[in-house]
């Protein structure tokens, strides 16, 4: 049984930890509000942009005149996995769930005989995936010095990805991130960005017929690279909100666990102190009786 001094020191240590986790929870709550607003405000634009792109892509079809970003290279042998995680930890299973999804995808592709390349955005994803898939690692984007993620950061990542595609380094690119639902729910998501892929309902409109000037192919050639940056930016915003939500939830659980541990240690401390007092009383009484 630990002595009273050890128990007292441990109680003080846990109390200090509880103060830290409570402060981190409050900071995450403040950041979550801004991040959630940014993610939600970006969704209508992204949805409408994808709807326009889907309509253009449907009119062009799989013709040879379609841009390469839409029709692809004609092969799916080499896959680039763009894994987006956070730069900092202490956010529960946020990073591990994204890395797990990317790892599963990489293993499936390898089992099918495909070549896998991994580009990471965020230190935690790099550290997690490099242990198991170090031979697939081709690059990393560091956002640790960025105070607030903006569209310019998404453009830099998009230029990196598009440059690799133009150089023929891969055939298919898939984006991995966490979609924000609420504070306790974030969904790890895999989204193909090259060749451009659109859901069937994204091209639905009010039935109007549009004439495009210049041609659909020329418009797509200009908008598809911007579409890659838009999808990456939307994923960054979703990731930002998901990270703060996961951190807020994790710190809340840590604060509660620290409180429970303090209660248990306090009970143990009181019992140990009572035992010491009882022993001292027994010694005094025994000494008095011996006289």
- Does one domain contain both 119 and 64? yes
Residue with tokens 């529960």: 92
- How far apart are the C-alpha atoms of 219 and 155, rounded to whole Å? 19
Is the per-residue pLDDT at 18 higher than 60? yes
> The sheet that has 115-121: what strands, in order across it?
137-141, 115-121, 78-84, 172-182, 185-194
Active-site residue, 91 included = yes
Is the per-residue pLDDT at 16 higher than 90? yes
Q: State the pairing for strand pair 185-194/172-182.
A: antiparallel
Catalytic residue among 32, 60, 91, 194: 91
* SS3 category, 195: coil
52 found inside a domain: yes
**Mean pLDDT, residues 191-197 taken together:** 87
- Which tokens is 273 given? 């102190």
Is the per-residue pLDDT at 202 higher than 60? no
Q: What is the CA radius of gyration of the chain?
A: 28
Q: What is the per-residue pLDDT for 85?
A: 92
289 found inside a domain: no
- Per the prediction, the chain carries an average pLDDT of 86
52-104 tens-digit pLDDT: 888 777 777 666 677 888 888 888 899 999 999 998 888 888 999 999 999 99
Cα distances (Å, whole numbers) of residue 251 to 15, 187, 218:
14, 19, 50
Q: What is the per-residue pLDDT for 210?
A: 65
**Mean pLDDT, residues 197-212 taken together:** 59
* SS3 category, 140: strand
pTM confidence score: 0.83
Q: What is the per-residue pLDDT for 100?
A: 92
Binned at pLDDT 50, 70 and 90, residue 1 comes out as low
Q: Residues of the chain with pLDDT > 90: what percent? A: 41
Q: What is the per-residue pLDDT for 194?
A: 87
Closest by alpha carbon to 94, among 64, 134, 122, 131?
A: 122
Q: How many domains does the chain have?
A: 2
- Does one domain contain both 210 and 279? no
- Does one domain contain both 183 and 256? no
278 found inside a domain: yes
- Does one domain contain both 155 and 276? no
Domain that holds residue 268: 4-20+252-283
Which of 4-8, 108-112, 163-167 shows the lowest mean pLDDT across its residues?
4-8
173-183 tens-digit pLDDT: 999 999 998 88
Cα distances (Å, whole numbers) of residue 164 to 67, 118, 256:
16, 12, 47
End-to-end CA distance of the chain: 33
Binned at pLDDT 50, 70 and 90, residue 4 comes out as confident
């Amino acid at each position: 049984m630990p002595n009273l001094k050890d128990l007292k020191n441990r109680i003080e240590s846990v109390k200090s930890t509880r103060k830290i986790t409570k402060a981190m929870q409050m900071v995450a709550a403040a950041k979550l509000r801004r991040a959630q607003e940014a993610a939600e405000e970006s969704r209508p634009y992204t949805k409408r942009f994808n709807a326009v792109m889907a309509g253009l892509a449907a009119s062009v079809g799989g013709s040879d005149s379609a841009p390469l970003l839409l029709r692809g290279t004609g092969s799916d042998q080499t896959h680039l996995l763009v894994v987006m995680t956070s730069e900092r930890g202490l956010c529960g299973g946020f990073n591990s769930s994204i890395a797990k999804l990317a790892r599963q995808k990489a293993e499936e592709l390898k089992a099918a005989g495909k070549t896998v390349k991994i580009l990471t955005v965020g230190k935690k994803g790099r550290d997690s995936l490099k242990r198991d898939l170090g031979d697939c690692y081709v690059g990393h984007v560091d956002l640790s010095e960025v105070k607030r993620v903006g569209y310019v950061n998404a453009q830099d990542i998009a230029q990196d990805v598009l440059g690799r595609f133009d150089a023929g380094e891969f055939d298919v690119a898939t984006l991995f991130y966490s979609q924000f639902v609420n504070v306790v729910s974030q969904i790890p998501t895999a989204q193909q960005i090259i060749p451009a892929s659109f859901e069937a309902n994204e091209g639905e409109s009010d039935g109007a017929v549009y004439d495009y000037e210049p041609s659909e192919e020329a418009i797509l050639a200009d908008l598809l690279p911007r579409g890659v940056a838009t999808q990456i930016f939307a994923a960054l915003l979703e990731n930002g909100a998901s990270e703060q939500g996961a951190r807020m939830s994790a710190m809340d659980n840590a604060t509660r666990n620290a409180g429970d541990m303090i209660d248990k240690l306090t009970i143990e401390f009181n019992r140990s102190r009572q035992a010491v007092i009882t022993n001292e009383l027994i010694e005094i009484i025994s000494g008095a009786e011996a006289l």
